[in-house]
Amino acid sequence: MKDIPNIFGSMVFNDNVMRERLPENTYTALKKCIAEGKHLELDVANVVAGAMMNWAIEKGATHFTHWFQPMTGITAEKHDSFISPNEGGGIIMEFSGKALVKGEPDASSFPSGGLRATFEARGYTAWDPTSYAFIKDGSLCIPTAFCSYSGEALDKKTPLLRSMEAIDKQALRILRLFGNSSAKRVITTVGPEQEYFLIDNAVYEQRPDLMNCGRTLFGARPPKGQELEDHYFGSIKPRVSEFMKELDEELWKLGILSKTKHNEVAPAQHELAPVFATTNIATDHNQLTMEFMKIVAKRHGLVCLLHEKPFAAVNGSGKHNNWSISTDTGVNLLEPGETPYENAQFLLFLTAVIKAVDDYQDLLRVSAASAGNDHRLGANEAPPAIVSMFLGDELSDILEAIETGVGYIGKKKIQMEIGASVLPHFPKDTTDRNRTSPFAFTGNKFEFRMIGSAFSVSGPNIILNTIVSEELSQFADELEKGKDFKSDLTALIKRTIKGHKRIIFNGNNYTDEWIKEAEKRGLLNLKSTIDALPTFIEKKNIDLFTKHKVFSKTEMHSRYEILLENYCKTIHIEALTMLDMTKKNILPSCFAYQQELVRLALDKKALARSLNSSTEEKMLEKISALSGCLYAKIEKLETDILGIREHEQILDKATYYKEAIIADMAALRGVTDELETLSAKKFWPYPTYADILYSVK
């Protein structure tokens, strides 16, 4: 049994380590820098760097790296050793404050959306002291922001930190109006639940689509999928359990609060959930979690799939972003308390979130937009592309009472009686949960369920922080100018509820009736990534982000370009992989099967005139017809891929991929999947869904 308290955070240069290893004045200066967001003086940085290096060397590190999060969606690192030459031909171990606070990676080789040309290579990484340094694979990793030579953010961390500053500023204005002078900071917290698939490496290596694209481009429905719902919360297979145990230990060493693990709905699907952390740290931790899922899986002969929809006909994987707002004194501003109807501060923050989600439905949809997630949204394991909010019966009743001016009688706690006296009694919650809602209130936080499993959570939280900042800013502007705070507050809450209640829906988001109802309410239904992305650079959204200094207009347009480029590249790779698999293996396998059927039919006729070969002939006719159809679909896809050249503008190109290439791929897959169901197993060139989903014994 591992000593978990001693393991936890053992590879992190955390507050306990800093307190122990830094001189008191240096520690105080660093903590003040973190708390107040001020720059760290170089002499202080030199002391911190020396202590970091000595600690890291004691832990076996030989190198250091600025660990950053470019617009690729994954992390990046360039490693330098601690060694420096001395006069005697030997070396000394050295790490300066300058090397700690600033690095210079090549900025031209990362996605920039036109911000940097190929010949403009200089970029900078800047230490983020609010996120602890850690050791990974023998290197001291220093979390950093990443910007261009001209100062634009080229990463996901910089705008996230800006958005956290924005909501801190506006939320403090509101708290001061309520007479709260003790809170010095307001922070957002996140707990991202992470879904994933585990399959055997042997079958993975036989599927080029999984290796190139992260998802299967072909695959007929297996005889047994998730219909019996026997995998969900089922007993964990020994091999998976060993993976989960090692993953927990690796994450605990890095100070990641990995808490919950279980089987998910689909075969081979699982979930990990951490304890909440500040949004910046939670984002860093989730990036590390995804990385270590893949690393640890390989050690066990497994492959971890993080694609949003690796298999058709079974559930895909999401990432549930549990978001809340708290003060530095430990008060959760989304905590209703025992009497939420009388909790004016809670109601004001709640209505700010309601208004934000309604006003900026498009931005929340953009935050969950990708080629991969388009396969998942709207299926029965994910919310539809329509953004709405679930509040539950109690909060909905409270808001209705406020809007109508009718007194609210609180619901009494009911004791759950399950029917057997030996079972404990416990209070029933005043409201149910709704797993079909894209944005659900779950007690003292909101759960944003639209995000795909492979996403960085920085994007959705940048948007959440910023849109709520804007509504709090509007509320503060109005209340600060008012004469009677109590009556002004009541009128504001009442008006906001009335103006934005259309976004609240407590029913089943999966039904066709809700889609019709949402349209009547005037809610957006941005069904695909191509429908959603252009809204990001609409004037109202540019005004929002520039007002709160989260993005510049240039940075927004660059991200828009990057997202569209990534969409195009993703589908292009999938289309080429599909052609490669069909032309090199599937079509030749069909011809081989036809040859076998011809041989069998001829052998029967040669053996005896009385033997009937009609079965073989019927199968041959069907396989031959489908093979011809398959060849025609291949030619159509090849022709349409050449047609991409006619589209120069990135949105036109992306639209062409959506309307032409994806349609061609779906048609090609339809024929191929039917052929799989007819082919003899020995002729089919790839592992089937049944082979893959049940590959981990």
The CA distance from 697 to 695, in Å, is 6
Last residue of a domain, one of 102, 123, 155: 155
pLDDT (mean) for 374-393: 82
pLDDT at 111 over 60: yes
pLDDT digit string, tens, across residues 185-207: 999 999 999 999 999 999 999 99
For 527-581, the three-class secondary structure string (H helix, E strand, C coil) is: CCHHHHHHHHHCHHHHHHHHHCCCCCHHHHHHHHHHHHHHHHHHHHHHHHHHHHH
Out of 26-35, 279-288, 307-316, 449-458, least confident range? 26-35
The CATH number given to whatever domain includes residue 92 is 3.10.20.70
pLDDT band at 603, cuts 50/70/90?
A: confident
pLDDT (mean) for 682-693: 96
The CA distance from 217 to 582, in Å, is 10
Predicted pLDDT of residue 152: 86
pLDDT band at 551, cuts 50/70/90?
A: very high
Paired with 263 in beta bridges are 270
Residue 275 maps to a domain = yes
- DSSP class of residue 267 equals T
Predicted pLDDT of residue 580: 97
Q: Are residues 191 and 308 in the same domain?
A: yes
Structural domain boundaries enclosing 266: 163-417+426-551
pLDDT band at 381, cuts 50/70/90?
A: low
Which residue would you say has higher pLDDT here, 293 or 36? 293
Helix ranges restricted to H, 207-360: 208-213, 238-253, 279-299, 344-359
The CA distance from 207 to 204, in Å, is 5
- Kindly give, in sequence order, each residue whose CB lies less than 8 Å from that of residue 529, ignoring residues fewer than 6 positions away: 369, 370, 371, 373, 374, 563, 567, 654, 658
Q: Are residues 432 and 458 in the same domain?
A: yes
Last residue of a domain, one of 100, 120, 155: 155
Q: Are residues 139 and 223 in the same domain?
A: no
The CATH number given to whatever domain includes residue 649 is 1.20.120.1560
pLDDT digit string, tens, across residues 202-227: 999 999 999 999 999 999 998 887 76
- Predicted TM-score (pTM) of the model is 0.93
Q: Are residues 265 and 209 in the same domain?
A: yes
The CA distance from 469 to 96, in Å, is 38
SS3 188: strand
Residue 112 maps to a domain = yes
Q: Are residues 71 and 212 in the same domain?
A: no
Predicted pLDDT of residue 120: 61
The CATH number given to whatever domain includes residue 211 is 3.30.590.10
pLDDT at 598 over 90: no
CB-CB contact of 604 with 642 (8 Å): no
pLDDT band at 118, cuts 50/70/90?
A: low
CA 135 to chain centre: 24
CB-CB contact of 589 with 218 (8 Å): no
Q: Are residues 287 and 397 in the same domain?
A: yes
pLDDT band at 418, cuts 50/70/90?
A: very low
DSSP assignment of 33-94, as one string?
A: HHHHTPPPPHHHHHHHHHHHHHHHHHTT--EEEEEB-BTTSS-B--EEESEEE-TTS-EEE-
Predicted pLDDT of residue 600: 83
Count of domains in the chain? 3
CB-CB contact of 203 with 695 (8 Å): yes
Structure tokens at 274: 């951490």
pLDDT at 428 over 70: no
pLDDT at 379 over 70: no
Q: Are residues 541 and 577 in the same domain?
A: no
The CA distance from 585 to 100, in Å, is 52
pLDDT at 139 over 60: yes
pLDDT (mean) for 482-487: 90
pLDDT (mean) for 301-314: 95
SS3 147: strand
Residue whose pair of structure tokens reads 């093979």 in the numeric block: 627
Residue 557 maps to a domain = no
pLDDT digit string, tens, across residues 510-543: 888 999 999 999 999 999 999 999 999 999 999 9
DSSP assignment of 409-455, as one string?
A: -PPPPEEE--S-TTSPPEEEPSS---TT-SEEE-SSSEEE---BTTS
pLDDT at 423 over 60: no
The CA distance from 681 to 674, in Å, is 14
Structure tokens at 59: 């832990």
Q: Are residues 261 and 147 in the same domain?
A: no
Q: Are residues 241 and 353 in the same domain?
A: yes
Residue 462 maps to a domain = yes
The CA distance from 574 to 81, in Å, is 39
Last residue of a domain, one of 128, 155, 182: 155
Q: Are residues 135 and 241 in the same domain?
A: no
The CA distance from 8 to 415, in Å, is 38
- Kindly give, in sequence order, each residue whose CB lies less than 8 Å from that of residue 583, ignoring residues fewer than 6 positions away: 634
Which residue would you say has higher pLDDT here, 473 or 32? 473
pLDDT band at 426, cuts 50/70/90?
A: very low
Q: Beta strand 439-441 with 446-448: parallel, antiparallel or unpaired?
A: antiparallel
Q: What is the dihedral of CA 664, 666, 668, 672, to 10 degrees?
A: 180
- Kindly give, in sequence order, each residue whose CB lies less than 8 Å from that of residue 222, ignoring residues fewer than 6 positions away: 313, 688, 689, 690, 693
Q: Average model confidence (pLDDT) for the chain?
A: 90
pLDDT at 8 over 50: yes
Predicted pLDDT of residue 355: 98
% residues pLDDT > 90 (the chain): 71
pLDDT digit string, tens, across residues 319-371: 999 999 999 999 999 998 877 767 899 999 999 999 999 999 999 999 999 99
Sign of the CA dihedral with 537 first, then 573, 630, and 375 last = negative
Residue 199 maps to a domain = yes
Which residue would you say has higher pLDDT here, 75 or 114? 75
pLDDT (mean) for 621-647: 95
Q: Are residues 47 and 77 in the same domain?
A: yes
The number of helices, as runs of H, and strands, as runs of E, in the chain is 24, 20
Amino acid found at 140: L
Burial (CB < 10 A; 0-12, 13-18, 19+), residue 36, is: exposed
Nearest C-alpha neighbor of 289 from the set 200, 379, 193 = 193
Nearest C-alpha neighbor of 144 from the set 66, 82, 204, 196 = 66
For 208-243, the three-class secondary structure string (H helix, E strand, C coil) is: HHHHHHCCCCCCCCCCCCCCCCCCCCCCCCHHHHHH
Residue whose pair of structure tokens reads 């991969």 in the numeric block: 372
The tally of CA atoms less than 13 A away on the side-chain side of residue 403 is: 14
Nearest C-alpha neighbor of 303 from the set 270, 277, 330 = 270
The tally of CA atoms less than 13 A away on the side-chain side of residue 257 is: 12
Residue 558 maps to a domain = no
Structure tokens at 388: 């709405």
% residues pLDDT > 70 (the chain): 91
Q: Are residues 128 and 179 in the same domain?
A: no
CB-CB contact of 438 with 384 (8 Å): yes
Predicted pLDDT of residue 425: 46
pLDDT (mean) for 106-130: 73
Residue 23 maps to a domain = yes
CB-CB contact of 35 with 168 (8 Å): no
Residue whose pair of structure tokens reads 């089943």 in the numeric block: 508
pLDDT digit string, tens, across residues 495-505: 999 999 999 99
Residue whose pair of structure tokens reads 């959930």 in the numeric block: 273
Residue 562 maps to a domain = no
CA-based R_g, the chain, Å = 28
The CA distance from 95 to 101, in Å, is 11
The CA distance from 60 to 543, in Å, is 49
pLDDT at 378 over 80: no
